[in-house]
Every structure is written in structure tokens, then in C-alpha cells.
Homo-oligomer: A and B are copies of this chain.
């Protein structure tokens, strides 16, 4: 990831098949006039491309691409594999996923397929290849998108016969012999030994919880199946096109490894719905939800921008940006005026090359009829369009934005997420929740952050590396962290498990150069938790640490137990801190690391990028900070060089 000068652009998602052909040119002109350069199309259009098996209708798509291109727009062409047509189910009746209760997940919406079904994968490659052949050299097709939001609607895990068969083969490939698998999983416990791979079932519908090693293997397998499904499409496209290939990940979907999938792609894009996410996937109390109901959580989008910048190895887009109220959250408020602009600028400040609004025009029928677009269903402008146009104008004035390496690295690991999901040990505990607690603390201190995968080994750019909750720490990662020039914030649960999800011996965290042992685990209710001497509390997950003579206890719980331990460059956190404790402890470590921090109010956030500092006010009231005043939804770009 080297620094680059970006010229960020805007775009939108468009469905020519939903509108009369007569309207296409007008829409295209209006997009361009609003300052949009990119348009994504095609990703749900299979039934119109191939209404009956083998009967292909590309003419309309030819024309749509030509029309959009003629208006100066570059096209992202999506493969339509998230929505196989109805006839596909008749050809492959067993292609549907089964849910954990064993029920088929049927046709009638989208994502109705099991990643492990060979027949459907072949069909997906077939339609992808047909598209690549036809449009691979089309001058307007400037990028490809595979499928749509893999894993959305809980579709990564399938308990179908196809998944069961594939899982057995996956286990065989991983473990070689059934004895090795029995040993790795610890199947001696509760007489769970298998005599052959063909005896293995999927870990659902068991009487009580299945072996966590079994569940972990199934989650790894399921992630691999998504990667494999995607790779087959990528290969089909690459045969015929030099354009970059991307996928639009969905926020806080962690069931498959986005880094692994991203390795086959050129750019990572994601779908950012700040208000919907605050209602349906940000962990927050009612007061926080109320305060930010029309603005979105101040850190949730930033986290994902940083995450997908890593997934894309520096190249990140927002493929779907909420432009008004959505239809799918428990509550669907309209954004505060200015927020569409703010969200767009925040993405850009985090390195987005393109921010594309979903969708160009609100469709008056079907499932998303209540989902706002840049245009209303009647074609009039919706409030979001003016804000997009404003950003386009501002971007033209702002010129190039340099990408920046942050001084702080945060490791995010999908495998760790699965291990936490399988063994949260306390109700409501999640890896994402813990990592986000640390992320929020860093950001509230005014810091910019790079997210890294657990495969990172070069940490030379950083002064602080945070790896909380990283369940399994490969040996060479541990050593790379121990050798880093940066301070390393680890724990709780960093290194808590072997690669097979067992407790390692010697006991965790077993990090090189850190003479600390987790003697016991305590998972009290999150509130009130256990007080820290210096303020704030720990709850949810607390580790009782034994510390060696060279380990210094920097903080203690009120009961005297170590809460934060230092040795060498390690800073080991013994538990899950509440927001106050997290901020205080992280502030101290930053000071040690020589990082300058700010004390930002709750609604104010900033990011340094390429000599500029971008400020964002997520509050519905003005905020003053160190001589600046930002209005509600305010964006401020300062020279910081």
C-alpha cells in the first residue's frame, strides 16, 4: 500500500431493465449532469438476459451500455448470479440452501442458492462467461462486479446435502485421515469420534452445542466455498477482460473471509447504509440510537472504509451509498440534511476512489419500493441528489486527494470472528464488538487507523498495533509483533486458541516476550462490570492474569487484579473495557507510543489524509472544537501539512 493521489469520483446504481428504453438516455444525461461518472448495472438481470434456459437476450443490455457510455459514463457490469431465474430451480431442485433448522430457502427474493452446489456454480460461470465474452472488450465497461453482497441475509452458511458432501471432502483435504481429524477436534470428548469422513454431518440440529472445533471447521469450509464460487467467476471474466473486477461487500457481514475473497479481486467495494446499519447492526443503547438516528453511527462507516481499503489492498469504493431513507431496517428515518454529503466525504477521506449511490431512481414496485433513490419514483429529484451534486462540485475544486498511511494499525481477522461467534462465553460478546470498542476509542482520540489482516507481517509504518481478541495468533505473527517498533495492544483473548480452536498449552496468550498467563476466565454481566482503579469498568470477558517478573502492571481492577500489563512493546489488556475505560487506556498507550491525540466530542470525528485533515460533525447540533465550529452534518477540510 503506497501513497497515491486519488481523483475521487461519484456514481450510481441503475437498472435499465426497470425503465422504458426511452428513458435511458435522459437518465444518463442527468447522471452526467449531476457530476456522476460511474454507473453500475446488470447485477439482478438474469431473467431478462436469459428468460428461458439458453435463450439469450443481450440486445437491451448492448443498448443500455451504449446509451450510458454515450453520455460519458463508465459502466460497472455486474454478474447476475445473486438472482438465478425461476427456471434454474427446476433444472437444479437441490441448489437451494437449507437453513440451520433444515428448511429450504426458496425462490422468491434473492440469494437463493447454496455456494456448494456444483451445478449452480457451473451455471453461474456459464452466464458470467457469456457476459465476459460479449462485453469484455466493450470500451464502456470499465469494471466488473461479481454477484451481489455475498453472505447477505445469512446466506454463507448452508446446511444442504450439497454442503454436507462438500464439507466431508473439505475435511478430508484438510486433515488427511479421520484419526487426524478426531485428534484435531478432540472427538474423544463425549464419544464423538468418527470412523470415516462420510460419517461427518454438518453441525446443526445437535441436541446441545456441537464441538466448537466442528463448528469452526464448518465456518472455514463455508467461507472457502464463497471464495471458490467467486473465483470461478473471476477466472471466467479475466479470460475476456482486462477491466478491474470487484465485489460489493455488505457492512458487518463477517461469515466469510473478505480478505481471502478480496485476494482474487482488484478493488474492494462495500455498501454503506449508515441509518439502516445503526438500527439493525450497530451495538448501541437507545440513547445513542436516538442521538444519531438521522446521521448514523460516527464510527461505523469509517471502520468499514478502513477495513475495505485493506481488503482491496489499498483500492476501495463505496458501491452503494444510502441517499435517503431505506426500507429494510426496523425504523427508517430520513437523513438529516447534509448527511449524504457528509457520508460521501467521509468515504473519500478514507480513500474511496468512487462513491456510488444506491440507487439512481426509486422503483415504485417490488421489495425495495420504499427505498429512496437520487430521484423519486416519479422522476423528480430527491433531496440526496442535490447533496451528491454539491460533492461533485466540491471534488472538482478540491483536486487530488492523497492516500495516507495511518500511524495506528488494527488487525481484523474473520477467523477470530468465527471463533468468538462459536464461543462467545458471555451473552452478547462478539469479536466485532470488542474490536469496534477499540476502534471507537482510537477514533475518538482523533487518530487515523489502518486495518490489517492477520496475515500482515510488515508493521514498519506503525507506532501502535492493536490486535484485541485475535483468537489465534500464528507463531510468526506473534514474533513479527514482538519485533515491531510499535507498541502492540493485545488482549483480551489474543492468542486464546490454537489453530483448531482449542486452548493452547502453555496457556494463553503465549506471546513471545510477554510473560503473562491467563490463569482463569471470568465472564460477568457487562453492566456494572468490575471497576478499574483508574476509572471505567471491565465486563463481559475478563482474564485473570499471572504475570512474570518483567511484566509491569499498568492498571488494576479494583480487586487488585491486573487490568493492563506491559512488557517490552506488548500492552496486554486483561478484559473488555467499557467506553470510558477503553478511551482512557488507549489514550495512555498512545502517549507512550508518541502519538498525539485529540479529545473529540462524541459526534465529532476527523481523519488525516495526504496533508489534509477532514472533520465531520455527526451531531444534529453545531459542535465547537479547538477554535473550529461545525454546523450539524458539517464537513470541514483543513490543510494539515
Contacts and interface: CB of A to CB of B under 8 A. Distances in A.
A325 B523 contact: yes
A368 B190 CA distance: 10
Contacts of A86: 192-195, 199
Interface in A474-510: 500-507
Interface centre among A17, A190, A214 (most CB of B within 10 A): A190
A58 interface: no
Given A109-B209, A207-B112, A211-B367, A52 B331 contact: no
Interface string A209-223: 111111000000000
Contacts of A427: 330-331
Nearest to A112: B207
Contacts of A377: 503, 505, 507
Given A366-B213, A369-B503, A111 B199 contact: no
Contacts of A638: none
Contacts of A212: 366-367, 369
A520 B201 CA distance: 50
B207 A105 contact: yes
Nearest to A528: B290
Contact of A524 (B84, B90, B194, B293): B293
Contacts of A523: 325, 331-333
Nearest to A152: B208
Contacts of A23: none
A309 to B, nearest CB: 28
Contacts of A501: 365
A641 to B, nearest CB: 40
A18 interface: yes
A324 interface: yes
A478 B370 CA distance: 23
Interface stretch (A42-50, A136-144, A227-235): A42-50
A372 B523 CA distance: 13
B203 A108 contact: yes
Contacts of A289: 525
A419 to B, nearest CB: 12
A626 interface: no
A211 B18 contact: no
A169 to B, nearest CB: 18
B293 A45 contact: no
A111 B201 CA distance: 16
A22 interface: no
B363 A325 contact: no
Contacts of A201: 106-108
A155 interface: yes
Q: Is the interface of A mostly helix, strand, loop or mixed?
A: loop
Contacts of A186: 363, 365-366, 369
Contact of A155 (B110, B207, B504): B207
A402 interface: no
A521 interface: yes
Interface string A293-312: 11000000000000000000
Interface string A108-146: 111110000000000000000000000000000000000
Contacts of A166: none
Interface centre among A90, A106, A194, A504 (most CB of B within 10 A): A106
A327 interface: yes
A382 interface: yes
Contacts of A325: 520-523
A271 B85 CA distance: 47
A189 B367 contact: yes
A210 B365 contact: no
A369 B422 CA distance: 12
Contacts of A324: 520
Interface stretch (A69-77, A96-104, A256-264): A96-104
A85 B51 CA distance: 48
A499 B423 CA distance: 45
Interface centre among A203, A208, A383, A426 (most CB of B within 10 A): A208
A343 interface: no
19 contacts: A18-B189, A47-B187, A86-B193, A101-B103, A102-B103, A104-B205, A105-B206, A108-B206, A108-B210, A155-B207, A186-B365, A189-B367, A209-B367, A211-B366, A331-B427, A332-B521, A376-B519, A382-B520, A383-B520
Given A293-B524, A377-B503, 12 more contacts: A80-B191, A83-B192, A87-B199, A105-B205, A109-B207, A109-B209, A110-B207, A155-B207, A213-B366, A289-B525, A331-B524, A333-B525
Q: Which 5 A-B pairs have the closest CB atoms?
A: A186-B365, A189-B366, A47-B191, A364-B503, A108-B206
